[in-house]
């Protein structure tokens, strides 16, 4: 048996302040955790992206001057939602499609975006070493 679990939409009243990704994600996380229908079904992970050079290259960012060029952030913060595993359900159950979802207010990709797609598009494998996360 396979199950499709769709993530919650980005709230219509979600607060966004340019250049304050950590605050934006904190407020989104707080909003999601205040809703039992989300908090009981999803694990929430705050992901801090950076590197030792403080030049993490992220593609498909709204602030990029060109769509084919990355934005270099000293750091960036996103939210990942992953379905909770219900121990009462059959352990052989499979989740169809992408089980985890990324929320990034600064991306040009859909919000939420399947984690696998977000990872592949935002962090391409052929980056120069100094820009890797």
Name all contacts of 28-37 with Cβ < 8 Å and 24+ positions apart.
28/79, 28/103, 28/105, 29/79, 32/8, 32/79, 32/81, 35/8, 37/8
Q: Is 21 a catalytic residue?
A: yes
Q: Is 76 a catalytic residue?
A: yes
Report the alpha-carbon distance of residue 51 to residue 64 in Å, rounded.
Answer: 19
What is the rounded radius of gyration, in angstroms, for the C-alpha atoms of the chain? 16
Candidate list 19, 21, 88, 90, residue with the active-site label: 21
Candidate list 9, 76, 86, 117, residue with the active-site label: 76
Candidate list 104, 106, 117, 126, residue with the active-site label: 104
Q: Is 104 a catalytic residue?
A: yes
List active site positions: 21, 76, 104
């Amino acid at each position: 048996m396979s199950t499709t679990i769709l993530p919650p939409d980005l709230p219509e009243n979600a607060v966004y302040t340019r250049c304050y990704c950590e605050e934006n994600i904190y407020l989104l996380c707080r909003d999601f955790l205040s809703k039992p229908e989300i908090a009981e079904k999803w694990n929430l992970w705050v992901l801090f992206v950076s590197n030792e050079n403080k030049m993490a290259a992220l593609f498909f960012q709204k602030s990029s001057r060109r769509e084919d060029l990355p934005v270099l952030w000293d750091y960036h913060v996103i939210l990942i939602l992953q379905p909770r595993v219900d121990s009462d359900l059959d352990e052989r159950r499979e989740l169809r499609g992408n089980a985890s979802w990324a929320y990034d207010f600064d991306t040009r990709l859909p919000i939420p975006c399947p984690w696998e797609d977000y990872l592949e598009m935002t962090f391409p494998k052929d980056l120069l070493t100094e820009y890797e996360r």
